[in-house]
């Protein structure tokens, strides 16, 4: 398939976090074309209002549609919590009725039943995701007997966006927020990393959770859910081109993005700057 007819799957995040989802897509569905868009210039989204997160997310989705993506994954919990429903119910029917936008919360919630053994679950996320109550609502629908405690971690995304994720200063914040969560329910046996940036702190996180606690990283489950979606929707699968390519776009500096993204993805990447409006 030539470049001009490429119709990649779009993957969007406020910054680098969505790379933890993308790397799983690239590993398990390498035949597809992908475009990654990070709105690094305006990250973090986690403390922004519903209106602003929705506006920024819709701008990004529209741009990915313009680039030819028939399907966009919001690889961001904050955007999934605050913008997905409005985009699906209000924007798509008018603007792009054949296109689809999917989030990361539903696939994560569906996985919880198979991960927790005692039904005591904790979730960590951005302030926006936690305050939206999205996980509480979705888990309540699928697994009403699960006891869920949550905590938001205001410094974790800035630590990643500023490449401080492996520095000694990160330990203080990671430990503090994990301790707070575990104090709320010492029986917690599963912690959902409900922000796609958090797996980039996994080395620090693993140091401060008891050994029996499982850390649920979303990439595997979101990737499984996307493959299943494409299997159930052959009409969409046919529209997604399969050339095995991946292009990267950022709203911040190209150099900065490629430096960090290459570390997170363990390979050199080429990135282009764009503006969103």
- Which residues would be at the binding site for ligand DGL (CB under 6 A)? 13-15, 17, 43-46, 76-78, 126, 129, 157, 195-197
Least distance (Å) between residue 210 CB and ligand DGL: 24
Contact 57/74 with Cβ under 8 angstroms? yes
Options 153, 195, 240, 246, the catalytic residue: 195
The pair of three-digit structure tokens given for residue 196, joined into one six-digit string: 């796609």
* Helical packing angle, 105-115 and 134-142, nearest 10°: 50
Least distance (Å) between residue 223 CB and ligand DGL: 15
Q: Please give the Cα distance from 119 to 101 (Å, whole number).
A: 31
**Between 46 and 107, CB nearer to ligand DGL:** 46
Other C-beta atoms within 10 Å of 51: how many?
11
Main-chain dihedrals φ then ψ at residue 242, nearest 5 degrees? -125, 85
Options 69, 76, 240, 246, the catalytic residue: 76
Whether residue 195 lies in the annotated active site = yes
**Between 215 and 236, CB nearer to ligand DGL:** 215
Least distance (Å) between residue 196 CB and ligand DGL: 4
Contact 134/105 with Cβ under 8 angstroms? yes
**Between 33 and 161, CB nearer to ligand DGL:** 161
Least distance (Å) between residue 16 CB and ligand DGL: 8
Contact 149/191 with Cβ under 8 angstroms? no
**Between 77 and 190, CB nearer to ligand DGL:** 77
Task: Specify the DSSP element, H or E, that contains 150.
Answer: strand 147-152
Which residues are catalytic, by number?
76, 195
């Amino acid at each position: 398939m030539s470049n001009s007819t490429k119709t990649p799957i779009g993957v969007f995040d406020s910054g680098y976090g969505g790379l933890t989802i993308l790397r799983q897509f690239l590993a398990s569905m390498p035949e597809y074309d992908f475009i990654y868009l990070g709105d690094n210039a305006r990250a973090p989204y986690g403390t922004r209002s519903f209106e602003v997160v929705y506006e920024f997310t819709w701008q990004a989705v529209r741009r990915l549609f313009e680039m030819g993506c028939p399907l966009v994954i919001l690889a961001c919990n904050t955007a999934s919590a605050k913008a997905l429903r409005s985009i699906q119910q209000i924007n798509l029917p008018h603007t792009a009725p054949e296109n689809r936008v999917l989030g990361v919360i539903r696939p994560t919630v569906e996985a919880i039943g198979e991960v927790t053994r005692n039904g005591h679950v904790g979730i960590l996320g951005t302030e926006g995701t936690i305050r939206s109550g999205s996980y509480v609502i979705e888990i309540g629908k699928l697994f009403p007997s699960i006891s869920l405690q949550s905590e938001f971690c205001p410094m974790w995304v800035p630590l990643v966006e500023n490449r401080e994720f492996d520095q000694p200063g990160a330990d203080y914040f990671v430990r503090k927020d994990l301790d707070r969560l575990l104090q709320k329910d010492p029986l917690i046996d599963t912690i959902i990393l409900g922000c796609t940036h958090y797996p980039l702190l996994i080395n620090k996180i693993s140091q401060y959770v008891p050994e029996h606690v499982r850390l649920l990283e979303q990439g595997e489950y979101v990737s499984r859910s996307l493959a299943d979606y494409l299997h159930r929707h052959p009409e969409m699968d046919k529209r997604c081109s399969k050339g095995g390519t991946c292009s990267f776009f950022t709203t911040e500096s190209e150099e900065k993005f490629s430096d960090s993204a290459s570390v997170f993805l363990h390979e050199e990447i080429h990135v282009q700057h764009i503006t969103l409006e």
